[in-house]
């Protein structure tokens, strides 16, 4: 009698143990999927604004402040090399946790793994300088 109770306990415990193995596998696979949806890469980052020095367009120009995709440059706009980052892609950039950036512009000097971050003033753009920065492509963003 004692043995059969013990056996029953063992047979009840067995699937529970297996369940935690399944859960472990699930967490592992889920983390791989998550990591895949946020592919992190190191980019060279520079900054620009809409001014004539940065964009060669005077405020009187009808294309002043307008990006390559036809959208008005605003906070969150970044210029990319469209062979590397597809225009329209959403990006997360290290150091700006509250902003989802949008690849909406291009630039002659923006080549390869390089992003050019738009700032509202030339002074801010200069202050940003040139950095190496971790960029995540938000695939399901």
Closest C-alpha to 96, from 36, 51, 138, 67: 138
The one among 71, 92, 122, 137 contacting Zn ion by CB under 5 A: 122
Instruction: Specify the 3-state DSSP secondary structure of 137.
Output: strand
Least distance from Zn ion to the Cβ atom of residue 51, Å:
3
Which residue has 């291009």 as its token pair? 106
Least distance from Zn ion to the Cβ atom of residue 98, Å:
23
Q: Determine the Cα–Cα distance for residues 125 and 66; give it in Å rounded to an integer.
A: 17
- By the rule CB under 5 A, 126 interacts with Zn ion: no
The one among 45, 47, 49, 79 contacting Zn ion by CB under 5 A: 49
Q: Determine the Cα–Cα distance for residues 123 and 26; give it in Å rounded to an integer.
A: 49
Residue closer to Zn ion, measured from CB, 54 or 110 = 54
Question: Rule CB under 5 A: which residues touch Zn ion?
Answer: 49, 51, 53-54, 122
């Amino acid at each position: 009698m004692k043995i059969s109770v013990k056996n029953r306990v063992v047979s009840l415990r067995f699937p529970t143990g297996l369940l935690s193995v399944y859960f472990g596998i699930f967490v592992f696979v889920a983390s791989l999927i998550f990591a895949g949806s946020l592919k992190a890469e190191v980019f060279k980052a520079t900054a620009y604004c809409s001014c004539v020095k940065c964009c060669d367009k005077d405020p009187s120009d009808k294309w002043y402040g307008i990006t390559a995709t036809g959208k008005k440059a605003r906070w969150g706009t970044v210029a990319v090399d469209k062979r590397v980052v597809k225009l329209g892609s959403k990006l997360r950039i290290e150091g700006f946790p509250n902003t989802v950036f949008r690849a909406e512009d291009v630039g002659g000097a923006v080549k390869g793994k390089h992003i050019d971050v738009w700032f509202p003033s030339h002074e801010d753009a200069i202050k940003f300088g040139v950095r190496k920065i971790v960029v995540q492509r938000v695939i399901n963003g």
